[in-house]
Amino acid sequence: AQRAALQRALARAQGNVSAAAKALGVSRATLHRKLKRFDLKRH
């Protein structure tokens, strides 16, 4: 569920990590850590 939410947020932000993090209410560093954990790419 969290992985899907991350994918949706990144898609909405067109791969912009800063914008996706803001939309999710987390820091950019937190989002990068979560992306790495779920092995997600920015695109």
Query: What's the Rg (C-alpha) of the chain?
Result: 9
Amino acid at 36: K
Q: Is the dihedral of CA 33, 36, 37, 38 positive or negative?
A: positive
Give tens-digit pLDDT for 1-43: 899 999 999 999 999 999 999 999 999 999 999 999 999 887 6
- Structure pTM? 0.83
The pLDDT assigned to 1 comes to 87
> What's the start-to-end Cα distance of the chain, in Å?
19
Joined tokens for residue 12: 């909405």
